[in-house]
Amino acid sequence: VGGELRFSEFFSHGAGLTTSLDALLHCEHSGIQHICVVQSPVFGRMLLLDGMVMLTEWDEFIYHEMLVHPALFLLPFPRKVLVIGGGDGGTVREVLRHPSIEHVDLVEIDPRVIAVAQSYFPTVAAGFSDPRVHLHHADGAEFVRSAPSGFYDAVFVDSTDPTGIAESLFGEAFYSECQRVLHATGVLALQSESPLHPVYCQTLPRVHRLLRPLFRHVASYLASIPTYPTGMWSFTLASRHYHPLEDFSPTDAQQRIERLSGKLRYYTAELHRAAFALPGFVQELISEGLAQPAP
Ligand code: AG3
């Protein structure tokens, strides 16, 4: 329609997400990637990196709560956390809700993402001013290589898709460094793309193949994130010590949820268990991937 602003992200052959836009608020090339902020009538402000939706004001709570809380409620007393990527601050915001947290390292390769999030998404980037948070402008894969062994209780990988700058964050060497920097009872949680995506559905089985030799327990769970490609999103949790369901106490989690700072909108103690129940095709995707020889 004449002059109307629109945004689309296609995951395949013209299939994907489209919205009209009220405004284009910010656009730049940071030297690493295109960073844009647009305003949509339903999704609110949207953060786009190279034309891909990283978050929207409307549904970011789902992604950030589900990346963080299944792992942190599995740990009885999480204190030290590493976040790789996540320059918008949403993951850090969720981590800081837990009163036991003492130290958070955030490693973001593109400082412009942090700056743009601070100006346009103040409620998402809220945690950056907290004294427990330490920002590092570095490549995540390089940062973990030089981090001390056994230091972190939890590591979160809040990456973009497994291509370009984020590719190393889906590799064997990176995962083995993540395991090394984690305490023996620590937990790794990462976003593992959509099991319905025509190309990136292979990320989930690949992640299992790479993590199984490193961690005793590896399990994935799902959440619906309507503004991400296909709307169905997977996360994967790995630990040498804790089983994501057998070692999870819903009554303990419920008591801790009541003591969190702020109110959760998606994650509940019941949902923790429910999210790990995988549809048949996702179970098959993972087990077929495990049957294949390592790439
Ligand atoms: N991490 C990006 C998820 C991948 C979305 N992919 C896409 N739109 N093609 C989100 C960062 C939020 N902290």
Choice from 163, 228, 232, 236 to test ligand 1 binding pocket (greatest atom count within 8 A of CB): 228
CA of 66 to the centre of ligand 1 (A): 13
Dihedrals phi, psi of 218, to nearest 5 degrees: -135, 120
CA of 229 to the centre of ligand 1 (A): 9
Q: Is the CB of 90 under 6 A from ligand 1?
A: yes
| pLDDT computed for residue 165 by the predictor | 92
| pLDDT computed for residue 293 by the predictor | 67
Q: Is the CB of 194 under 6 A from ligand 1?
A: no
| pLDDT computed for residue 294 by the predictor | 58
| pLDDT computed for residue 291 by the predictor | 86
**List of residues 6+ apart from 228 with CB closer than 8 A:** 53, 63, 194
233 strand-pairing partners = 223
Instruction: Evaluate whether 95 touches 72 at the Cβ level (below 8 Å).
Output: yes
105 strand-pairing partners = 82, 134
CA of 45 to the centre of ligand 1 (A): 15
Q: Is the CB of 228 under 6 A from ligand 1?
A: yes
- Over its C-alpha atoms, the chain yields an Rg (Å, rounded) of 18
Q: Is the CB of 55 under 6 A from ligand 1?
A: yes
| pLDDT computed for residue 292 by the predictor | 77
Dihedrals phi, psi of 49, to nearest 5 degrees: -115, 125
Active site residues: 158
CA of 239 to the centre of ligand 1 (A): 23
* DSSP codes of every residue in 134-169: EEEES-HHHHHHHSPTT-EEEEEEE---SSGGGGGG
Q: Is the CB of 177 under 6 A from ligand 1?
A: no
| pLDDT computed for residue 144 by the predictor | 98
**List of residues 6+ apart from 189 with CB closer than 8 A:** 67, 68, 70, 71, 154, 155, 156, 157, 235, 236, 237, 238
Burial class, 266, CB count within 10 angstroms (exposed 0-12 / middle 13-18 / buried 19+): middle
| pLDDT computed for residue 289 by the predictor | 86
For residue 67, give the ligand 1 atom closest to its CA: 13
| pLDDT computed for residue 2 by the predictor | 57
Series of mean pLDDT values for 10-residue runs along the chain (295 residues): 85 98 98 98 98 98 98 98 98 98 98 98 97 98 98 98 95 98 98 98 98 98 98 98 98 97 96 98 95 69
Burial class, 276, CB count within 10 angstroms (exposed 0-12 / middle 13-18 / buried 19+): middle
Return contacts of 23-32, CB within 8 angstroms, 24+ apart.
25/120, 26/116, 26/119, 26/120, 28/112, 28/116, 30/110, 30/112, 30/113, 31/112, 32/109, 32/110, 32/112, 32/165
